[in-house]
A and B are shown apart, each in its own frame.
Chain A
Amino acid sequence: DAKTTQPPSMDCAEGRAANLPCNHSTISGNEYVYWYRQIHSQGPQYIIHGLKNNETNEMASLIITEDRKSSTLILPHATLRDTAVYYCIVRLNNNAGNMLTFGGGTRLMVKP
């Protein structure tokens, strides 16, 4: 699976949009971009995923660049409960059971 690079930490003011970047310059054509977050002492929670089109759901929006070498997760109105570590993962669609390899993630701190 392709490696991802994320900033180790970010701050965001409550109520503002949080934009979390992820670089995946070696992504291959059939790899999807997934985002998860992990709130302290809990298991990772799925947020959103996409292949090449931008995606939006009730939690967030995912913007993928045209060359697919980077993406941005957008939390439109961050709340204190969005404080967590956010992981960007790219993964193959293979027979190995859909391996997930976690990088360091971005520790997002939402401040009042």
Chain B
Amino acid sequence: EFQLLESGGDLVKPGGSLRLSCAGSGLTLSNVWMGWVRQAPGKGLEWVGRILSKSSGGTRDYPAPVQGRFTISRDDSRNTLHLQMNSLKDEDTAVYYCTASTVGGGFDVWGQGTVVTVSS
């Protein structure tokens, strides 16, 4: 069974930084396309960024709201994905999920999420 487990969520002040982690079990994260998705309280899902598999070049892409502030990285030795979040804003408050695609064209593995609260 494939599993993802996020950690690192916390209360942080505006302008601060936080690093989230996503540990994989049952699957090798470098072999699949992965992403981060967030969900603000009471709101819908928002894509935060992706990292392609090693075989696809490991490219990382981000949407405009987080471009230049968020960085995805992968630690292959620990089979872990990270999301480094800098210059945090109130509107970054959300549950952050990591997700992986083991089927072509769909993200089928999801973690339970970790809560990030940005507030003074």
Indicate whether A and B interact.
Answer: no
Query: Which chain A residues have a beta carbon within 8 Å of chain B's beta carbons?
Result: none
